[in-house]
Structure 1
Amino acid sequence: MKNDRLFQLVYLLLEKGSMSAPTLARELEVSVRTVYRDVETLSIAGVPIYTTTGKNGGISLMEGYSFDKTLLSDYEQNQLLFAVQSLKAADQQVDSLLSKLGGAFRKPSQDWITVDFSRWGLTQVDSVRFETIKNAILAKQVMQISYCGTSGEITNRRIQPLRLIYKDKHWYLQSYCLKSQDFRLFKVRRIVEIKPIDEHFTQNYKGEIPPIEMADVPCSETTIKLKISARLAFRVYDEFDREHITVMPDGSMLVEACFPIDSWVISYIFSFGTDVEILQPPELRYQLSEYAEKISTHHKP
């Protein structure tokens, strides 16, 4: 504990240059008397640390003193700081590490990235969920979940959580499902309930975890051409690759992409309302029209 405090004291001085004993005491959560004892200990150990009195006095390190940084280039030091900053953005407690690295490299940490796992309006709920999943993955703790599948049926499963994956605007939990006795991807938003249980696993599944591509899902794709009005340009850029978009002189957008012709793609195109026109294939126009009639009939008083 004391050795860690001594290192922290040195890191603080490397970062700040000079600090008063009361300020160091607050940072280290010790008494001023303990700070001076630590300064004496460091001095005896050969660290060039000294104190000055007066209005601008304080505790400092000899100018030019630093740890040996020759193993890392300036670029590598920046990359390391940026990587740790990314962890902070992902809600990890790395302030102390950032301070130490910044002091060792004599570089201030830069708040260059922010990552928020939560959905709009659900910050607290989603943050708790991600924290629960993260802790279970790190502790190799089995979890009990209730999951809503694509059929709408909610099933209860015991899973061994392996890693969180962000792909195509969605978060997935890759796990080994003890019910299926196989690896499974669970969309985090469809996990109705989640609870760690008092059971741990030791398997690391090294080399066994399948790639995250859902190649096992049968999919017969067809080229679809759509004309979408300029009013929904924001959706087009959100949801399609730029190479699949052609902007017309009137501002409307031609989109050409491959989709499976199923109930999902019909409801998806329907979500564009009257701002979309199906140019190809012709049979999809009929299917969409039929779908719209069913919606209309369903909502008639």
Structure 2
Amino acid sequence: MRADRLVSLVLLLRQRGRLTAETLARELEVSTRTVLRDIEALSAAGVPVYAERGRHGGFALLPGFRTELTGLNHDEALALLTAGSGRGEQVFGLGSALASAMRKVVDALPENHRATAGDAARRFLVDPETDLLSRRLVTEEIPGTTMLEVRRAVLAGHKLRIHYAAAGRTPEWRTVDPIGLVTVRDRAYLLATRSGEDRTYRLSRVRAAEELPEPAQRPDRVDLDRIWRERSARFLSDSHLTVLLKLNPARREELLDTALAVRAEQPDTDGRLRLEVTFQDARHAEWALWQLGTDAEALAPQSLRTALRDRAAALVARYGNPPG
């Protein structure tokens, strides 16, 4: 870990010039004392780093010093820089590692490509924190120590002990065999098995975690995309409500924001969309369609049509008479 930090320190000085010990400590997420020790270690290893005194002082490298890193072409670096602008690193607790990797990517570029790749990457925005309607996308908070233990167990292939709080239940400890990690819309999940049975755990509900020394019972090769599709299909088929409806195409995105899944979709002869949509339950479906007003019409099940009709009738009765 210290070797990676030393490389990151050199790259920071190369790319940003003179920096104070406080700035370096903040960027590397260590103490200023650690930075000073690292500076001494670099000097002892022959890296030409020197201190400048005074109000605007700090540490800098002699001009022309360059580290030896594998080169990347312009498009390869642009792809990495753009991918690194997403927020998956926040979900899996890899923010510091990503920052270090991006510094290495930039430094590995030929001199004439470095500025243009950085400018090009700034012209791509991946997963901003708000959408066009100014709705803020909230990333679930996962303690760093918990995420570290989970990540270690997944990568090492060891069993994992987690203190898990399932919805509406008291947290309890359980030992699982981790398979992989998945992030969907800023929610992170642990795919695992427990006593041979498939399990999917939402990481924001893991209160604590401990990597165990025993090897996990899992296959050597894994297709996370296939496993996720299979588990998603099973999840949607268990105790959820499927609704057939017609919808004004202009409201499609609003519906997708509230529904669990769209099973089928096709244009109808009257210009509306005919969709088969899955909701959590009848209450969820009634609430979601009510928000869409007359732009949505539930066709089935009949119980949902009846519930929406009764709600509309109650509203008419309330406002059909003068107030008082």
In the superposition, the TM-score normalised over structure 2's length comes to 0.55
Question: Do 2:244 and 2:276's aligned partners in 1 also have CA atoms closer than 8 Å?
Answer: yes
Q: Distance in 2 between matches of 1:154 and 1:103?
A: 50
Q: Is the 8 A contact 1:14 1:61 kept in 2?
A: no
Instruction: Summarize deviations over 1:118-177 as a string: whole Å, max 9, x none.
Output: x97976xx31358624532324431132424xxx77795624244332348865431212
1:235: Cα distance to partner?
1.3
- CA shift in 2, pair 1:270/1:5, >3 Å: closer
1:195 matched to which residue of 2?
A: 208
Q: CA 1:182–1:208 in structure 2 vs 1: closer, same or farther (change >3 Å)?
A: farther
Q: Determine whether 1:212 maps to 2:222.
A: no
**Structure 1, gaps ≥5 residues long:** 297-301
Paired-residue identity, %:
14
2:241–2:280 CA contact under 8 A, matched in 1: no
Taking the aligned partners of 1:33 and 1:130, their CA distance within structure 2 comes to: 26
Task: Please say if residues 164 and 173 of structure 1, whose CA atoms lie closer than 8 Å, have aligned partners that are also in contact.
Answer: yes
Aligned mate of 1:256, from 268, 274, 284: 274
Shift of 1:186: 3.6
CA distance in 2, matches of 1:216, 1:37: 55
Partner secondary structure for residue 272 of structure 2:
strand
Q: Give the 5 Å matches for 1:124-273.
A: 126-128=140-142, 132-133=146-147, 135-139=149-153, 140=158, 141-148=160-167, 158-160=174-176, 161-167=178-184, 171-178=188-195, 181-187=196-202, 191=205, 194-196=207-209, 199-203=212-216, 205=218, 206-207=220-221, 211-213=227-229, 214=231, 215-216=233-234, 218=237, 224-228=244-248, 235-236=254-255, 238=257, 244=265, 254-259=272-277, 264=281, 267-269=284-286, 271-273=288-290
Distance 1:88 1:264, change over 3 A: closer
Moved more, 74-83 or 160-169: 160-169
Q: 1:173 to 1:120 in 2, by over 3 A?
A: farther
Structure 2 residue matching 1:185: 3-state secondary structure: strand
Q: Which runs of 5+ in 2 are unaligned?
A: 26-31, 130-134, 313-324
The answer to whether 1:288 aligns with 2:308 is no
**Quick check: 2:246–2:296 contact (8 Å CA) kept in 1?**
yes
1:15 aligns to what SS in structure 2?
helix
Summarize the Cα distance change of 1:162–1:132 in structure 2 as closer, same or farther, 3 Å threshold.
farther
Contact 1:175 1:185 (8 Å CA) reproduced: yes
CA distance in structure 1 between the aligned counterparts of 2:288 and 2:73, rounded to whole angstroms? 52
Question: CA-to-partner distance for each residue in 1:7-63, whole Å, 9 max, x for gaps?
Answer: 4554234213x437xx369637469899589557526xxx7x89999xx99854444
**d(CA) in 2 for partners of 1:34, 1:222:** 60
Shift of 1:81: 3.5
Distance 2:103 2:41 in 1: 22
Task: Calculate the TM-score normalised by the size of structure 1.
Answer: 0.58
Secondary structure of 1:99 counterpart: helix
C-alpha spacing 1:197/1:76, structure 2 compared with 1 (3 Å): closer
Q: What residue is the counterpart of 2:103 in the other structure?
A: 99
> Is the radius of gyration larger for structure 1 or structure 2?
1
Partner in structure 2 of residue 72 of structure 1: 72
SS at match of 1:147: coil
| Cα shift at 1:183 | 1.7
Structure-2 change in CA distance of 1:130 and 1:99 (3 Å): closer
Distance 1:25 1:167 in 2: 36
Using the alignment, how far apart are the partners of 1:37 and 1:188 within structure 2? 39
Specify whether residues 154 and 114 from structure 1 end up closer, same or farther in structure 2 by C-alpha distance, changes over 3 A only. same
Question: Contact 1:225–1:279 at 8 Å: present in 2 too?
Answer: yes
Q: Structure 1 residues 163, 42: closer, same or farther in 2, change over 3 A?
A: same
